[in-house]
Amino acid sequence: MSRGLKRGLISVPTSTFVITTIFLTIFAFKIEGRNFFKTPNDTLKVWIYLKEGIQEKYLKPIEYPERTLKRLNKVGWMKREYPSDYYPSEEIIAIIKNHVLEIRHYSRILKAFSALISKKNYLELEKIEFVEKIEQVRTFVKKRHIDTFDLSKNDLEKAGNEQNFYGESYKQLELINIPAVQNLGLTGKGVRITLIDAGFRKDHSAFKKILDENRLVAEHDFLFGDNNVQNENEEDIIYHQSSHGTSVWSLIGGFVPDTIIGAAYGAEFLLAKTERIRSETRVEEDDYIAAIEWSDSLGTDIISTSLAYRDFNDGFCYDFSVLDGESAVTTKAVNWAFERGILFVTAAGNDGSNPKFPDGGLYTPADAYGALTIGAVNEDGIIASFSSHGPTFDGRIKPDLCAMGVSDYVARDFSIDGYGHGSGTSFSTPLIAGAAALILERYPNWSPSDVINELKNFSSKSNEPDSLYGWGIPDVQRVILENEKKNYPNISIKRDKIAIYPNPSNEIVTFFFKWSVKPKILHEPVELKIFDLSGRFIWKNFIPAGLGGAKELIDWDLTDNTGRRVASGVYLIYLKTKSDKKIGKMVVIN
């Protein structure tokens, strides 16, 4: 079920209701109130935030499909625990609708409506008791030269005989060892990937296999409110609206043997169109957030997006201080998705050498704690001069990883068989998203944190990460094979439980659980304690808290704190953090 409200298609009662208390959190930019409207005919797109303290009868619980629930449970989600698991009732919608020109979306992340209003509407909304604040919906802009194409290489080019199956796409895949993983039989099957971009040429030959096998699960155009992400009018064609998204999609899902092979060509796909291409690319933050919530509701496992912005249409530019991992509205949305078990892969940006940004040119939401941020290298693994980088304002390393983003071989939208070469972090990003899909196919119970940690563990700079490369270029085959040796239990663990294996046991046992800590609250010292059934303390171990959703393995040799072997019996394992607690039970047999 889609969470965004389609513009002009809302069916609500005509009567209005008096509502005294309603929820909300406040973000972003405050508009200049009634002074913003210079004439009575001026209009403005705004966020209408609802007050905190909403009564339950004015909210509707969201019923998630089984696929979404399964993903949420991987990161310890508990049903109805979070405000974003509820949706406004028809009563609330009716009141808002009566005081706006048009409702665009409702955001569960922000707990706010986005709407088009006039000055008259603004004055009316100010008086509604449950409206907390009205803030402007920002429009991001970027120049069209962000990603580049080599127009001299639009013909089909083939690699040497050794890699004929991959054609010209071999180099970009081989750099992160994807062909070796595909040779193991992994193609991303069963993994659902969302692409958020400016449009997609679905009838391109690179995507025929996806369409023939019905693996394009859903598509939505958030600009026009319909379910078609392909070019729809002459203006779209003139400005090549679908060019960028077509190229990005081909890097993950393309499949034309001897020409182009995508990193996860067997995956399922959701396509979201949010960017408008003209002399500059524009995207409104409410469309971007609506696309994330739409993806969540449809059970996506991975979101891959090359949206990277710091500039707005009114001339405003984010100061470096905003890149702190949690302040920008789009950054908040990425963190929300991460906490709900979605691996969010995003481009670092292409302004690493732009003198306008002496801080490294990192864009939002690449600064997000929950983002797997990707930089670009050439085929030799050398960082591209344009690749944006951190550190972030709060000192964290970004990008996280790198992949080939210089002269990548991609599908082009000028014909159904068009191909060429392109450069940009937009093109390194889907390669890592595809790599992650291969990992999730093999380890479906892994959380986003598990995937991120293991990719970093087996990357070229895993022992010496820096602000240019992050943890470097990952070796996806090593991630797969090295974790086969670790013999992690391939089971789903509830948020409040600790699994023990073997159980019962007369030898060393391993405690297995998933951290439930939010992204920023890391390394808090936590005690894991063991008691017998009488409550007598047996053993403890201090461990640093991990990233939310990350797996943890702790071994116990069945001795107490004095080093003596424990007696046969039942033992309770207990772990408590500031955010939750976990328990387990095991039997020792001597």
- State both tokens at 330: 């789009």
What is d(CA 259, CA 538) in angstroms, rounded to the nearest whole number? 62
Examine the domain organization and report whether 466 and 448 are in the same domain: yes
- 26 within some domain: no
What's the pLDDT at 390?
94
- 278 within some domain: yes
* Higher-pLDDT residue of 161, 499: 499
pLDDT reading at 232 higher than 70: yes
Which residue segment(s) compose the domain that 269 sits in? 142-288+297-346+363-369+384-486
Examine the domain organization and report whether 342 and 236 are in the same domain: yes
pLDDT reading at 386 higher than 80: yes
Q: Read off the pLDDT of each residue in 327-354 and give the average, rounded to a whole number.
A: 94
Q: Read off the pLDDT of each residue in 507-513 and give the average, rounded to a whole number.
A: 89
Examine the domain organization and report whether 561 and 519 are in the same domain: yes
Examine the domain organization and report whether 559 and 452 are in the same domain: no
Rounded percentage of the chain residues whose pLDDT exceeds 70: 84
- 573 within some domain: yes
What's the pLDDT at 547?
67
Which residues contact residue 338 at a Cβ distance below 8 angstroms, ignoring those fewer than 6 apart? Answer: 344, 368, 369, 370, 371, 448, 519, 548, 549
pLDDT reading at 210 higher than 70: yes
Helix (H) / strand (E) element for 362: namely none
Question: pLDDT class for 55, splitting at 50, 70, 90?
Answer: low
Rounded percentage of the chain residues whose pLDDT exceeds 90: 59
* 79 within 8 A of 494, measured Cβ to Cβ: no
* Higher-pLDDT residue of 7, 262: 262
Which residues contact residue 11 at a Cβ distance below 8 angstroms, ignoring those fewer than 6 apart? Answer: none
What's the pLDDT at 463?
93
Helix or strand or coil: residue 121?
Answer: helix
Mean per-residue pLDDT over the chain, rounded: 84
- State both tokens at 281: 């690319």
* Top-ranked range on mean pLDDT: pick from 222-231, 463-472, 475-484: 463-472
What's the pLDDT at 267?
98
- 25 within some domain: no
Q: Read off the pLDDT of each residue in 224-242 and give the average, rounded to a whole number.
A: 82
Pairing between strand 371-377 and 343-347?
parallel
CATH number at residue 183: 3.40.50.200
* 584 within 8 A of 573, measured Cβ to Cβ: yes
Examine the domain organization and report whether 452 and 559 are in the same domain: no
- 403 within some domain: yes
What's the pLDDT at 231?
80
Q: Read off the pLDDT of each residue in 350-370 and give the average, rounded to a whole number.
A: 92
Task: For residue range 261-310, list pLDDT tens digits in order.
Answer: 999 999 999 999 998 776 455 678 889 999 999 999 999 999 999 877 78
pLDDT reading at 538 higher than 90: yes
pLDDT reading at 144 higher than 50: no
Cα atoms in the 13 Å half-sphere on the side-chain side of 551: 25
What's the pLDDT at 82?
72
Examine the domain organization and report whether 129 and 149 are in the same domain: no
* 142 within 8 A of 127, measured Cβ to Cβ: no
Cα–Cα distance list, 525 to 522, 543, 577 (Å):
9, 6, 9
Short-list 397, 377, 379, 254, CA closest to 325: 397
* 532 within 8 A of 577, measured Cβ to Cβ: no
What is d(CA 261, CA 165) in angstroms, rounded to the nearest whole number? 8
What's the pLDDT at 525?
76
One-letter-per-residue 3-state SS of 33-46: HHHHCCCCCCEEEE
pLDDT reading at 158 higher than 60: no
* Higher-pLDDT residue of 512, 469: 469
What's the pLDDT at 10?
25
pLDDT reading at 518 higher than 70: no
What is d(CA 171, CA 165) in angstroms, rounded to the nearest whole number? 12
What's the pLDDT at 281?
55
pLDDT reading at 442 higher than 50: yes
pLDDT reading at 160 higher than 70: no
pLDDT reading at 475 higher than 50: yes
What's the pLDDT at 279?
47
Residue where one domain finishes, among candidates 430, 463, 486: 486
* Higher-pLDDT residue of 493, 188: 188
Task: For residue range 168-194, list pLDDT tens digits in order.
Answer: 999 999 999 999 999 999 999 999 999
Examine the domain organization and report whether 475 and 576 are in the same domain: no
pLDDT reading at 9 higher than 60: no
Examine the domain organization and report whether 405 and 524 are in the same domain: no
What is the tally of structural domains in the chain?
3
- 353 within some domain: no
What's the pLDDT at 526?
85
Q: Read off the pLDDT of each residue in 515-542 and give the average, rounded to a whole number.
A: 80
What's the pLDDT at 486?
67
- 7 within some domain: no
Cα–Cα distance list, 407 to 159, 251, 265, 386, 426 (Å):
14, 12, 20, 13, 12
Question: pLDDT class for 520, splitting at 50, 70, 90?
Answer: low
Helix or strand or coil: residue 207?
Answer: helix
* Higher-pLDDT residue of 253, 225: 253
Task: For residue range 394-413, list pLDDT tens digits in order.
Answer: 999 999 999 999 999 999 99
Question: pLDDT class for 452, splitting at 50, 70, 90?
Answer: very high
Examine the domain organization and report whether 314 and 436 are in the same domain: yes
What's the pLDDT at 315?
74
Examine the domain organization and report whether 400 and 316 are in the same domain: yes
What's the pLDDT at 495?
72
* Higher-pLDDT residue of 384, 525: 384
CATH number at residue 540: 2.60.40.4070
Residue where one domain finishes, among candidates 438, 460, 486: 486
What's the pLDDT at 522?
53
Q: Read off the pLDDT of each residue in 518-538 and give the average, rounded to a whole number.
A: 79
- State both tokens at 504: 């019962």
Examine the domain organization and report whether 342 and 447 are in the same domain: yes
Examine the domain organization and report whether 508 and 456 are in the same domain: no
- 391 within some domain: yes
pLDDT reading at 20 higher than 50: no
Question: pLDDT class for 28, splitting at 50, 70, 90?
Answer: very low
Residue where one domain finishes, among candidates 110, 137, 164: 137
